[in-house]
Amino acid sequence: MEGKADKGDKREKIIGAAFRLFCQQGFQATSTALIAKEAGVATGTLFLYFSSKAVLINALYQEAKAGLTAHLQAGYPGPPGVGDRFRHLWFAACRWGLANPDAFRFMTMFRSSPYIWQVTRAEAASAAAFARQLVQEGLDTGVLQPIPPDLLLALLDGAVTATVTHLQEHRDPAAARGGVEQAWGVFWRGVAR
């Protein structure tokens, strides 16, 4: 009774199909017609929800970023230690990346792509403002090495991306857990004072 395609269902299906196809075949090989077919809707319907292919791409990027951000904020611990909170971010990010391979891959693929507008990137960044605050707190309390906050965030981002991508390629569920832990060790040893 509830599987009958509830209102708004179509938008989700289109987004899901788009993530899958873009990751598998890339941008140019994925036509809007194919996305629509994979999503089980008509060609025209896609344009009812996303006014153009460019809009769709950017929506996808935001969707991915929002998913990740939400996951990071979910169990975000309170005041305890700055290190604990960093630890939480690290593991939550890796866990999300490994659980959502398509969305994660999409993010890395389009991270520095000209298809993603500045606005999109800016919105995604602002959503992760709390991470920046954490870094600032770490610097202020002397827990972190004295490094420009933006550079430190970039390094965090780069390390997580490298770790998840690496573990995704060598699919070994057992090694994954350990890899995340080891990479965390490298990162924290590097930035902590």
Nearest distance from residue 118's CB to DNA, in Å?
19
**Which entry of DNA, a second copy, none binds 159, CB below 5 to 8 A by partner kind?**
a second copy
- Using CB under 7 A as the binding rule, whether residue 188 contacts DNA is answered as no
Choose from DNA, a second copy, none: what does 81 bind? Cβ within 5-8 Å by kind.
none
Closer residue to a second copy in complex, CB, 12/95 = 95
Q: How far is the CB of 47 from DNA (least distance, A)?
A: 4
Residue (of 38, 44, 48) closest to 11 by Cα position: 48
Using DSSP's 3-state secondary structure scheme, residue 192 falls into: strand
Which residues is 144 bridged to in the sheet? 192
- 44 vs 147: CA distance, rounded Å: 50
- Residues with Cβ within 8 Å of 21's Cβ and at least 6 positions away in sequence, in order, are 30, 34, 35, 38
User: For a second copy, which is the closer residue by CB, 27 or 130?
Assistant: 27
| Partner from a second copy, DNA, none binding residue 162, C-beta < 5-8 Å depending on class | a second copy
Residue 144, classed as helix, strand or coil, is: strand
| Per rule CB under 7 A, count of chain residues that contact DNA | 21
DSSP 13: H
26: tokens are: 């890339």
For a second copy, the closer of residues 133 and 145 by Cβ is 145
Q: Is 48 in the site for DNA (CB under 7 A)?
A: yes
Of residues 13-32, those binding DNA (CB under 7 A): 28-32
Binding site for DNA (CB under 7 A): 7, 10, 28-33, 41-49, 51-54
